[in-house]
Structure formats: C-alpha cells, structure tokens
Structure 1
C-alpha cells in the first residue's frame, strides 16, 4: 500500500511499512554543491509528476568512525554533498494533527545520518501515535567551518551552516507536515549527543523561534560552541593543511569532499593526539553574535526559550568507561585520559578527592579508574544540568532524567554508556543481533522501551512526560527531582549532588575555554 502526498515542492509517494506510512529521502533544501558549498540552505526546486519516497538519501560526507566501541553507530551506504533530505513516519496521512517529533542525530557534528537503522521512526510513530521526522544536516568542515575571515570574505561561511540546515528542515516541517497527519503547531525537537548540542543551540537561536514548541536534549552539553577566536584558529589550521589561499576560494569550493575532510580539524582524530591539549581542536557551532547571539546556557538563562517545555538528561556512565577504560589512548593513566576532556583550569585531582569521598559514602566503587570515569561522565552531565537549571527558572515544565540501564556488552563493564538510551527511545534496541548484544533484550528491555516511548510521546503531546508505564514524572524544580530510568524506575532528589557541587567553582566560561593557547590571544589558558 502506498500514499501520495502533495508537498510545497511537488507530489511524493511513500509506502506502508509495519503499520506506519514511511516517506524517505524528501528534499528540504537544494543540493549544497558548487557555488552553494558553505552557503546557507535554500529551498529545493519544484518537480513535476510523483517523486518516489521509498529510499533513503545518501549520508552527508563525513569521516569514517574508527572507535570500535561505537561501531553500532557506523554509517553505511553512499555519501554525497547532495544530502539535505529528511524522512517521515506517520500512522496515517489523515487530518488528525498528531504531535510531531523531529530527531537530530548525533556524531559530534562530524558523522551520522538520518537513515541509520537505529533511528527508524516506525515503532515510535505507531506506539505513540505521533509523526516522526529524521533529518540530515551538513557535517564537519562542510557544515561547521568558519571561513569568512580566513578567506577575506570570499567564502562567507559562519561555521553554523549545519545549524541553518536544521532550521530549514524545521521550516519544511512547518509548511508540509499537516499533509502527513502531523500538527505544525506542536513540534518537539529531540536529539542525542551532538543532536542534543543542536537542541540546545535551537533554544538560543532567534532564527529557530516559533518553529518548535518542546525540546528533549539527550546527553548533549549546553556549552559546546566555539568563540570567534577559537573558530578562526581552526579555520587557519585547515587553510594551512589544505594549501589553498583566500584568493583560491573557487578552487576551495571545487575541492573533492575527501580532501576537505582530510585537512579539517576532527573530533575523533583530536583524541589520538599525543598531547592532550590538542584534543579541543575540533569543529562545533560558533557563537558568532548573529545566528548564535551568545553561549547557549547564557541565552537560555536570559529567557531565550522561556515558552519551551524541556527534558534534559544523560546516561549514568556516558563516554566514561568506554573512554577511560579502553578506547582512544591505550595504556595512558586514567586521569591523563580525563585531561583530554576537561580544561586546564579544572583541578582534576581535587575533583577526584571529592568524588572518591562521595562514592565511599554511597558504598560505591572508588578505584582510580572508577573515579576518573565518573569525572569524564560529568563533562556531559554537569553542562546538561546547567542547561536545565537555566531553563527551569523560566519554564516550570522542565524535567530531568538519568538513564541507568546497564548494557550487557563487555560483561556489563561499560555500565550505562553514551547512546544506551537511543534504542529504547525508538524501540530498535533489539533490531539486530549486535544491537541486542549491546542494549539488551527480553521482557525487561521491552517493558523499558515501551515506557520510554510512551513518556517521550506524552511529552510531545502535552509537555508532561508522566505516563502509567513510567509513572509520575515531577518537574525538576529547586529540588532537582530526577527520573531514574533503568532496570528500576524511580524519582530521586538531586542524585550525585556532591559531585555536582564540586563543579560550582567553575563558571560556564571556564568549562568552555580551549585546552590550548590560541596564537594571539593572551587570555587563553596555557
């Protein structure tokens, strides 16, 4: 069974899959190629006839994942700069005006795709009676490289073109989603890791105002943006490596994507540098004073998203045990690995003393590895809590969670790692044998996934994630009430509070400072 829908650009034909309609590979912007490389997105051209919408588009150009612990998130299939497409799953194409949930994939702004099997929106759409949309956006140097200064304006890239792609996708949703059974006046953005970064950025972006109405930031820190000096420094590194000068802007636009990627600062490559101080040389969105007027937490604290109900949460162990125990830098002492994640202002040994005492008081493990792993996790959790603290002052419907389902992978050695929540949110935790090996399977996993999907859909519908399955989810509030989601689901007041307080000595600015000295900027940390 198929369905033909009229969009603002032409008719599209999707298919019926497992109880939902699926429309794949819908263009929301013109191909960002040739003269459009590094430019803001523009609408796609109209087409005649009926466009098939049964196959995913190529993923955006990106580096290949090299960390075996995260192989489940490897992107398969073709890649092409013509990648600004989205996918829609809907229970019906009637006029029921269902809540719309727009997913922004993670991958450090360097990798990922809307078409990864783990993000299949069919089960969430069917169970929650919602319309699920997954979107691509330009990645790495093609989406987040600030080139205006280094090219003397010949390429006016702000470093936020990837975010502008997300805004363009939300504009497409506003203009078209009613025809797919969705409500353009009830849109929730949700994303994990870099997708959570993007959710935070959208909260602070004037250009995104009115395009969404609720937000869920999963394991996405609130302050990953680059300041102008940092962004310009990374652009100069890129220019030096690729060997092209500002006068060769046309040549730069014509360079193969592979050459662009090879010369660009990289999130994943940076962690392999022998000097930990180089691990902050990777691309993120830019606090440029225009698209992003100020750091995310500062903007939210000032009321930029006062009308937006918000859920913010992390996993219990985030990147911690994967990062500290095994990945990236084998043989390096645990606290040296942590130095790759925190800035030089931060006294890791002092934090370790406080964490060790807090863990012993809870009868928790207090080895050097466990403490280092907990500090590494809090490089994600603490900024996320600060985002939530900033929003709750304006918006009472602010909710916090800690996802603590233990992965069976590695004989449970990884605890509740970064990304463990995704398979339960989409109901895809046991989609394949290797998924089930990392996320789990069986009645308990199924019950958890149903409870999480119900809560996320309830929040999208009403702004309150309480459900019979998950239970009453109280507002975060002054007590920092937090839903603990895992083998046992319950509400805790201010979990790991001693550890949170240990970071109060550091401002948001401290947390966002680069590890290395930027040439010509005397205030940078040595």
Structure 2
C-alpha cells in the first residue's frame, strides 16, 4: 500500500491508501491528518482511527463555554487506537449500558474506512451523531462501531459534542463576551466543528467531502434538524438521516428554547451553585455542574445567531439545507421510556397533566382511554406521537411541501427479541430498537434472533448505505420505497416483511398538527 497524506498532490482523487507501520506490529496503520501523524489499527479489512482530535480541549477559563478552538499540532506519532472518554455526564444514554469513562477533554471523533483503495475515487461518508437527550452518550458504545457499515463501501465517522450544561448553558455574562450577544449552543458548535474537520481531512481517510451524510438518532436526530437550519452548517453535508427525533413543535410549548429564557435558567444554575460569576463557575469541577444542572439547561436554543430560528420556522421560510432526507420513528417508541405500571383509566388524564401540563381536549379525545388496558395503550401511543411520531411526520411533510429534494419516510415495527429480564424487557419496537438493524449489529448480542431479523438487518443496513452513497435507499432486499409526497402518501413499514403501507394513526397526528398550528398563530411564531 501507499501512504496517503493530505498534502500529496493528486492523492485526493484516489482515496485512502494506508501505510502499515512495522514498528508497532502488522495491525497498525498510519496517516497524516490535520495536526500531525496518527496511528490507527487495521481490523478485519477496515482501517480504524479512534480518539482523533477535531478541536482543542474545551477546558478551563480558555475553553469552557466558548466556541470550539483549533487543535494544536503534535510532534511525532499520535496513537489513535483507543476511544476518548465521553463528555461529562451522569447516567447513560440507553438503559442497560454501563456508564462511560468521562473527561471534559472530549472533543474527538472516530473513523472507520475500508483499508483497500476504492476502485473509483473516494468513498461516501456517514457522520453519526449519538443520542442521549443532549445530556448523555458516548461514541465508544459498541453499538456505534462503524466497522460493519464501512465494509459495505463507505467511510463512517462518529463524533462527540459537549453535553448538558457544559454544552448548552446560556447566560447574560456569556452573551456579553461574544460579538453576537448570544450564548449557549456550544454542543451544536462542536458538531459543526467536527463536520468542518471532515471537510478538510476526510480525503486522507478515503472519504469524499462532497458526499457527506449527517445522521443521528434521538437527540442526534434532533441535532440534524438544528443543523439543517444553521447557516454555519450549510454546505458541510449533502444528505441527512434522522431516526426518532426532530424539533418542530411551537416554541410556545418550550419557552426554554428561547434565548432570553435560557439566559434566565442559566442564572438559576449560578445561584444554585453559589457562584458569583460565570468565570467563577468556569473554575469549578465539571462534577458540580452535573449535580446541579437540570433538564432545561441540556438543549440548544434559538439565539438569533448560531440558530437564527427554529427548524420548523426555517422550513416555512425556505431557509434550511435542502438535501435528500431519510427519516422515521418506531412503532413502540415509548416502551423504553415510560413505566405504565399502575396506570389506570381513572388516572390517565391526571398523569398526563402532571407530565406535560393540561392537554387540549381534542388531543385527549384522539387517544380513547375508557378501560385500564386501553388507557395503557393510549398512554404509550400518545407519548410516542408527542415525543417522536408527530415530529417525524411533520418533518416529512415540511420537506415534501417546501423542499426540492426527496424524503424517504419509514416506521420501524419489528418486535425485537430483547431479553425477558432486565432493563430492556418488553421493549418491542421501542426507542433505540432500530439501531441494531440499520447499524448491522445483531451479532453484538446473543438474543433470540430469527431469520427474519437477519434479513431485515441486512435490508436496512443496505438501504441506509445506498442512501449515503446516492441519496436514494432503493434496491437490495426491500420493496420499492417511494419518496413521501405528503397528503395520503405512504411510508416504508420496516417489519418482519417490509412493505409500503399507510402512515399509522394519521387522524391523531392531524389533531396534533391542528393544535400546534393554532398555537403558532396565537403566539405570532413564524
């Protein structure tokens, strides 16, 4: 093999050729990228580089609550053979996972690239953004390994971003430090910095910077919706995949997404910690912030600068990245997130009001709950649609109505054979469930997989990879998947026997739509 460095003339047209590094053994490979020389590993025909820095450590007074800064070059050979720690967090992004190692020095990415030079130029690139409610998640989670998809002829990148209050704190003092007069959204800026790094460097790893797909699940998919509305992310990706996450509800439902309210919530954090200033808080251990920071500090905000307006408003004004989209959600999203034990018909409305505040009567009527069993089913269905189903349906409609590029819409319905005991018992087609299939990772688990599971996983991984390559998932083991056109259009039902079918529960989704549209109009939102 030949060495490929970003500085070598003509190398970009060929893709990556990795140089074995004899001093470290036959499985080592080296490459020159921004900052210096990296040593990764050759694993089953895939060159893997873990813990590659894309920004300087966001630590201390110089880095905490500031935009990501360029990395400093290093001398000699830097090991890229182990995952970097996760960004500071408490808990886990998925029930059943072990807590990851953490460090505030966490802005690293990982790359999987086929080691053999591609026959025709550089390869399409998939950039994966993990979920976890903007508060948890780790690129080192085994499920996120890109090796299986890379073997199908793409380059896979997984990126980290700052989480919780460290990633999204807004405060008036921070706003006064910036020319734009805004603050927050540091986690989103990290994602943009990683995408820019990909544009500058991915050719050295065999990837094509002109064919980048940004993808994510849950908060990762929500991040994709923000990135599509961000001017600073324009041109950094050319297709998008969003799995069970988007931000399209009226901002009136989430006042903390508005910058002024986010700044007030930031001040509450300072008071909780007894800090007299943001600079004082910059000197506190990250663990202090994890103890005190509540949910309102763990999400992006519409600040008029980094995020000029919400994704929904940006769509309606024609101000989003118009790229091919693949998106959808799961049939039983809420089973992984909601404990329905003890739920009765008599307590149905009170429990909802406690969780979300009073809900409009038309919404309650759309989910009949006369008996206890019906109340459990209704609660799961409403939670699914409120948190995921309506967002993905609305996103598909917005792209079909306002975009020129196609949108491919799915619902995952396969009842996954999760173990009968433990954190994932009874999940079915829950939140997270599609990940094992589209990432081609069934072999990571010793669950009771059936032939239908393996066929579905192969078909889904193939469809996702074809979309990364061409912007169209069609071909392989799925029936023809038509682009969604809105109205009475149909979606792909990813189940034991994948088929094109009707959108599930459309009447209830339309009720959500009418309620939200009335709220937007009454609040004067774009």
Normalising by the smaller structure, the TM-score range is: 0.7 to 0.9
Partner in structure 2 of residue 296 of structure 1: 311
Alpha-carbon separation, structure 2, partners of 1:178 and 1:28 = 15
Partner in structure 2 of residue 262 of structure 1: 291
Contact 2:437 2:460 survives alignment (8 Å): yes
In the alignment, does 2:399 pair up with 1:374? Answer: no
Contact 2:139 2:160 survives alignment (8 Å): yes
Q: Could you say what secondary structure the match of 1:506 adopts?
A: helix
In the alignment, does 2:516 pair up with 1:507? Answer: yes
Partner in structure 1 of residue 233 of structure 2: 208
Contact 1:62 1:111 survives alignment (8 Å): yes
Q: Could you say what secondary structure the match of 2:507 adopts?
A: helix
Partner deviation per Cα, 1:404-452 (whole Å, 9 max, x = no partner) = 111333757333110001111212234134xx3xxx5232222111111
In the alignment, does 2:196 pair up with 1:171? Answer: yes
Partner deviation per Cα, 1:206-252 (whole Å, 9 max, x = no partner) = 00000000001100122377012331232122112111123xx3321
Contact 2:45 2:115 survives alignment (8 Å): no
Q: CA deviation at 1:455?
A: 0.5
Alpha-carbon separation, structure 2, partners of 1:108 and 1:512 = 28
Partner deviation per Cα, 1:253-283 (whole Å, 9 max, x = no partner) = 11000001111113xxxxxxxxxxxxxx452
Alpha-carbon separation, structure 2, partners of 1:376 and 1:486 = 21
Alpha-carbon separation, structure 2, partners of 1:153 and 1:181 = 42
Contact 2:165 2:297 survives alignment (8 Å): no
Partner in structure 1 of residue 164 of structure 2: 140
Alpha-carbon separation, structure 2, partners of 1:386 and 1:256 = 41
Alpha-carbon separation, structure 1, partners of 2:202 and 2:232 = 19
Indicate the larger mover: 15-24 or 286-295.
Answer: 15-24
Residue 257 and residue 508 in structure 1: after superposition, are their counterparts in 2 closer, same or farther (change >3 A)?
A: farther
Partner in structure 2 of residue 443 of structure 1: 451
Partner in structure 1 of residue 352 of structure 2: 338
Residue 340 and residue 390 in structure 1: after superposition, are their counterparts in 2 closer, same or farther (change >3 A)?
A: farther
Contact 2:344 2:376 survives alignment (8 Å): no
Structure 1 portions without partners, runs of 5+: 267-280, 514-522
Query: Of residues 189, 211, 215 in structure 2, which corresponds to 1:186?
Result: 211
Contact 2:244 2:330 survives alignment (8 Å): yes
Query: Of residues 114, 133, 138 in structure 2, which corresponds to 1:91?
Result: 114
Alpha-carbon separation, structure 1, partners of 2:184 and 2:175 = 15
Residue 186 and residue 476 in structure 1: after superposition, are their counterparts in 2 closer, same or farther (change >3 A)?
A: same
Structure 1 runs of 4+ with >6 Å offset: 329-332
Q: CA deviation at 1:131?
A: 0.4
Query: Of residues 332, 336, 345 in structure 2, which corresponds to 1:317?
Result: 332
In the alignment, does 2:154 pair up with 1:130? Answer: yes
Q: CA deviation at 1:352?
A: 3.6
Residue 396 and residue 175 in structure 1: after superposition, are their counterparts in 2 closer, same or farther (change >3 A)?
A: closer
Alpha-carbon separation, structure 2, partners of 1:430 and 1:50 = 34
In the alignment, does 2:128 pair up with 1:103? Answer: yes
Contact 2:174 2:183 survives alignment (8 Å): no
Residue 499 and residue 124 in structure 1: after superposition, are their counterparts in 2 closer, same or farther (change >3 A)?
A: same
Q: CA deviation at 1:151?
A: 5.8
Alpha-carbon separation, structure 1, partners of 2:176 and 2:309 = 22
Q: Could you say what secondary structure the match of 1:162 adopts?
A: helix
Partner deviation per Cα, 1:327-352 (whole Å, 9 max, x = no partner) = 9x9999444443455454x32x5434
In the alignment, does 2:379 pair up with 1:353? Answer: no
Query: Of residues 113, 121, 140 in structure 1, which corresponds to 2:138?
Result: 113
Query: Of residues 47, 52, 67 in structure 2, which corresponds to 1:26?
Result: 52
Pairwise mapping of residues 389-400 of structure 1 onto structure 2 (< 5 A)? 389-393=397-401, 394-400=403-409
Partner in structure 2 of residue 48 of structure 1: 75
Query: Of residues 230, 233, 238 in structure 1, which corresponds to 2:264?
Result: 233
Q: Could you say what secondary structure the match of 1:88 adopts?
A: strand
Q: Could you say what secondary structure the match of 1:42 adopts?
A: coil
Residue 287 and residue 336 in structure 1: after superposition, are their counterparts in 2 closer, same or farther (change >3 A)?
A: same
TM-score by length of 2: 0.85
Q: CA deviation at 1:320?
A: 4.4
Q: Could you say what secondary structure the match of 2:226 adopts?
A: helix
Superposed CA RMSD: 2.9
Residue 446 and residue 352 in structure 1: after superposition, are their counterparts in 2 closer, same or farther (change >3 A)?
A: same
Partner deviation per Cα, 1:446-501 (whole Å, 9 max, x = no partner) = 21111111001101111111122122110010333211102121111333211112
Query: Of residues 406, 414, 419 in structure 1, which corresponds to 2:415?
Result: 406
Partner in structure 2 of residue 4 of structure 1: 30
Q: CA deviation at 1:39?
A: 0.2
Contact 1:324 1:369 survives alignment (8 Å): no
In the alignment, does 2:435 pair up with 1:422? Answer: yes
